[in-house]
Structure 1
Amino acid sequence: MKKIFPRALLVLAALSIGPLASAHHSFAALFDANKPIRLKGTLTKIEWTNPHSYFHLDVVDSKGVTNSWAVEGAGPGALSRRGFKKGDVQIGDTLIVDGYLVKKAGVRLIDGRVVTLPDGRVINGGTDGDGGPGDSKPADAQKPAGA
């Protein structure tokens, strides 16, 4: 009995982690592939964190109102392998990001798939293997449909 309980607990823990990991890395769990968006804004904050990096932009809308947006991208290692390194952008730089809106209404968060850097380089900003639009494409940037 003493040997069975720890093993059963370990199996239960392993089985419960799978759905969480899948949901975390699933584009469809958070973002809407039918809602492409392009943001052009001023970089206000950078979070080079794993498993995702976040870039915060101030974006002026058509009415002249400035709104703060968060852009979720791949982790720092993946971005670096694609040629996007920490020193490539500075607070105050203008970025153009093509991506997809989060499903939750009223939240200013997008999944950033294509990032145009201040020097004109275009980088694939998406997370590989998340099932999002363009995921099966090569690492070169792909524009979202309708953007």
Structure 2
Amino acid sequence: MRAAPLAALSCAAALAALLAGPAAAHHGWSSYDDSKPITLTGKLTEVKYENPHAMVRIDANGKRWLAVLAPISRMQARGATADKVAVGREVTIVGYPSKEHGDEMRAERIVLDGQTVELR
């Protein structure tokens, strides 16, 4: 008679582990300094238009930056489609620098073809 409760407990533990995986993989925003907004304007040199967050590399201010954007569904809904966020495109990105990496930022908005897209 103890097999059923043990099996239920095992299933619950397995389910909890599966659900915790994506949450553990997602980073928080506390590693970015929101007291020091920065604006970068330049060409996109690399684009990863994929979940959980799109990421781009932009040449600006004398160096190559990594900018973490929003989830794809949010970007598409607001007009930041893959054809607009493409290698070679000139963009302006406003966001916050990483506290840990001198060439990384979290983007709050991106300007594409003169249109400002809010990412948060």
Q: Which amino acid aligns with 1:11?
A: A
Contact 2:54/2:69 (CA < 8 Å) preserved in 1?
yes
1:115 is matched with which residue: 99, 103, 110?
A: 110
Query: Do the aligned partners of residues 120 and 52 (structure 1) sit closer, same or farther apart at CA in structure 2, a change above 3 Å counting?
Result: same
Alignment of 1:23-62 (within 5 A): 24=26, 26-28=28-30, 30-61=31-62
Kindly, what percent of the aligned residue pairs are identical? 25
Query: In structure 1, what is the Cα distance between the partners aligned to 2:46 and 2:54?
Result: 11
- Deviation, 1:13, is 4.6
- Deviation, 1:56, is 0.9
Query: In structure 2, what is the Cα distance between the partners aligned to 1:38 and 1:58?
Result: 12
- Deviation, 1:25, is 5.6
TM-score normalised per structure 1: 0.67
Query: Which entry has the higher C-alpha Rg, 1 or 2?
Result: 2
| C-alpha RMSD of matched pairs (Å) | 2.4
Alignment of 1:71-86 (within 5 A): 71-86=67-82
Query: In structure 1, what is the Cα distance between the partners aligned to 2:36 and 2:15?
Result: 35
Query: In structure 2, what is the Cα distance between the partners aligned to 1:3 and 1:35?
Result: 56
TM-score normalised per structure 2: 0.80
SS in 2 for 1:21: helix
Gaps of 5+ in 2: none
Q: Which residue of 2 aligns with 1:140?
A: none
1:69 is matched with which residue: 52, 61, 65?
A: 65
1:96 is matched with which residue: 86, 92, 95?
A: 92
Query: Do the aligned partners of residues 12 and 113 (structure 1) sit closer, same or farther apart at CA in structure 2, a change above 3 Å counting?
Result: same
SS in 2 for 1:38: strand
Runs of 4+ in 1 over 4 A off after TM superposition: 13-20
Query: In structure 2, what is the Cα distance between the partners aligned to 1:89 and 1:13?
Result: 39
